[in-house]
């Protein structure tokens, strides 16, 4: 038995929010429209209604209601839908950090990788985006085509994870 539970979250709109010019002005408009700052690299911000996760210097993944973001971007960027190709898998329980080390290369066991942090990494050859929701919850954004196999990989890994690790 492991102390991690995997849950497929329902399909939801996901968008790429990309800025190509005037980042400071966009950030200002963003703060005015949403009430929070554009998250810095490796972090996320917002709420259940609208969450942004910064994945690249000029690119954020947007989860939730995007109705205000068109005006925020104006001619300084674009919003592109990508939700159809991404599966969200919620890893719950104290064991999610250990699970993510299986087949991985990223230090998910680092305590500094805590709530509000995000990362893009490779797990068992699959490109995965991670977002730490809380100490016991991490959401993984997985390409649809790999999601069934990666979920299977995680389930098998979870069955063996704590075997033989005397820690």
d(CA 46, CA 34): 8
Smallest gap from Cβ 36 to another protein, in A, equals 23
Nearer to another protein, 65 or 110 (CB): 110
* Local structure of 158: helix, strand or coil: helix
The token pair that represents 151 in the structure block? 């979920």
Nearer to another protein, 50 or 73 (CB): 73
Among 3, 37, 124, 136, binds another protein (CB under 8 A): 124
Among 27, 33, 101, 120, binds another protein (CB under 8 A): 101
* Local structure of 123: helix, strand or coil: strand
CA distances from 14 to 47, 71, 77, 93 (A): 14, 18, 16, 25
Contact residues for another protein, defined by CB under 8 A: 11, 16, 18, 20-21, 75-78, 80-86, 101-107, 109-110, 124-126, 143-146, 148-150, 153, 156-157, 159-160, 163-167
């Amino acid at each position: 038995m492991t102390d991690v539970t995997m849950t497929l979250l329902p399909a939801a709109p996901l968008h790429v929010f990309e800025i190509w010019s005037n980042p400071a002005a966009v950030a200002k408009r963003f703060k005015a429209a949403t009430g929070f700052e554009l998250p810095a690299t490796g972090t996320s911000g917002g709420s259940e209604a609208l969450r942004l996760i910064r994945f690249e210097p000029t690119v954020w993944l947007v989860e939730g209601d995007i109705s205000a973001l068109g005006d925020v971007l104006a001619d300084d960027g674009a919003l592109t839908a990508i939700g159809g190709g991404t599966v969200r898998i919620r890893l719950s329980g104290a064991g999610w950090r250990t699970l993510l080390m299986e087949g991985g290369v990223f230090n998910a066991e680092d305590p500094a990788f805590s709530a509000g942090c995000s990362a893009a990494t490779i797990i068992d050859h699959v490109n995965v985006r991670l977002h730490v929701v809380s100490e016991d919850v991490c959401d993984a954004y997985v390409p649809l085509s790999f999601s069934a196999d990666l979920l299977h990989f995680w389930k098998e890994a979870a069955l063996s994870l704590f075997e033989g690790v005397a820690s």
